[in-house]
Amino acid sequence: MAFQQAINYQPAPAIEGDFCSANPRASLLAGAGALISGPLGVIAGRFGWANNYGVVTQGAGASGRIGFIHRDNLSLNTIWLGRSTMLVLPNVEITLHQSGDFWMRFAGGASPGQKVFANYADGSVVAGVSGSPPAAGAATGSIAPASIGFTGSITPANPFNTEEQGGVLQVTAPSGYIAVGSTITGAGVIAGNQILSQVSGAPGGVGLYEVSIAQNLASEALTATYGILTVASGLSGSYAVGDQLAGGTTAAGTAITGLGTGAGGLGTYYVNNTQTVVSGPMTSSGAQETAWYVASYAAAGELAKTTTSRQV
């Protein structure tokens, strides 16, 4: 354990991710060997998304069933001689809660009765008005399909439980940018295999990637398909990695997974779903509304009690 480096005038009431009552709570059900933290780990005290294989991730491209990560058994995940952390190391069994009363930390503050939103970018919590996701943008935009070829191989993330966990894609010779959220195709690729996150290497280039389906695939020619969003005009608000998109014929679950020429304003962005959406109104939302409500007041950066009961 590292040396203490800070002293508080008053002890904190709790740490984010702690239970704030002894009321009933419910966890997300999953299959054998699930749920586990993804290859980049997850942060306790925030929300995470579980894919169909029981792998829980946070950040751009994360999708699936949502749940809150309770601060539980973090002492088992401490990095050797490292400082205490909220990080749950990769491939560790965790629990996602769908209901219950928890302490959550609100960077922007919170008031009783507000709804709790999960930030798509990192799973952190935001308080707001029900039905009005924060950090929304609007503009005239379009989406065009894109694809690149590369050489790669796939191995199971856990060779002892290939049915429940995803795989690791090793990219050795890309011919362009590989976007998170891309669907992979090739002679030996199982249909529907999708890139969930990048684990190592230059962004979009040579390196390791987490994929949704575990399989043993020797190195071969592969193709990644994705979409390119063009934010053209009439911008209000901003666009960011992790934002979910809506408008026109945009497919449900379409999210910004990387920056092209845009950095919040006009320009291009990589999205997970390959599709054609003609130019028209395009909106983004930066967070997903959850089942939780704020139950106590919190200034910016402070903790607040939250509950899935409407009686707040």
**Cα–chain center distance at 21:** 27
* Identity of the amino acid at 119: N
Q: Do the Cβ atoms of 242 and 59 come closer than 8 Å?
A: yes
What pLDDT was estimated at residue 11? 76
Query: Three-state SS string across the chain, please?
Result: CCCCCCCCCCCCCCCCCCECCCCCCEECCCCCCCCEECCCCEECCCEEEECCCCEEECCCCCCCEEEEECCCCHHHHCCCCCCCCCEECCCCECCEEEECCEEEEECCCECCCCEEEEECCCCCEEEECCCCCCCCEEEEEEEEEEEEEEEEEEEECCCCCCCCCCEEEEECCCCCCCCCCCEEECCCCCCCCEEEEEEEECCCCCEEEEECCCCCEEEEEEEEEEEEEEEEEEEECCCCCCCEEECCCCCCCCEEEEECCCCCCCEEEEECCCCCEEEEEEEEECEEEEEEEECCCECCCEEEEEECCCCC
- pLDDT tens for residues 245-256? 989 999 988 888
Q: How many whole angstroms separate alpha carbon 282 and alpha carbon 267?
A: 13
What pLDDT was estimated at residue 218? 93
Q: How many whole angstroms separate alpha carbon 158 and alpha carbon 152?
A: 18
What pLDDT was estimated at residue 302? 93
- pLDDT tens for residues 46-98? 999 987 778 888 876 677 889 999 988 665 555 555 556 788 888 788 899 99
Per-domain residue ranges for the chain? 26-134+289-307, 136-285
What pLDDT was estimated at residue 120? 85
How many CA atoms are closer than 13 Å to the CA of 165, on its beta-carbon side? Answer: 25
Q: How many whole angstroms separate alpha carbon 241 and alpha carbon 58?
A: 12
Tens-digit pLDDT profile for the chain (312 aa)?
456 677 777 777 888 999 999 999 999 998 777 788 877 789 999 999 987 778 888 876 677 889 999 988 665 555 555 556 788 888 788 899 999 999 999 999 999 999 999 998 889 999 999 887 776 789 999 999 999 999 999 998 766 655 556 789 999 988 888 988 899 999 999 988 888 888 889 888 999 998 888 889 999 999 999 999 999 999 988 888 888 898 999 998 888 888 899 988 999 999 988 999 999 999 988 888 999 999 999 999 999 999 998 655
- To which residue do tokens 């967070």 refer? 287
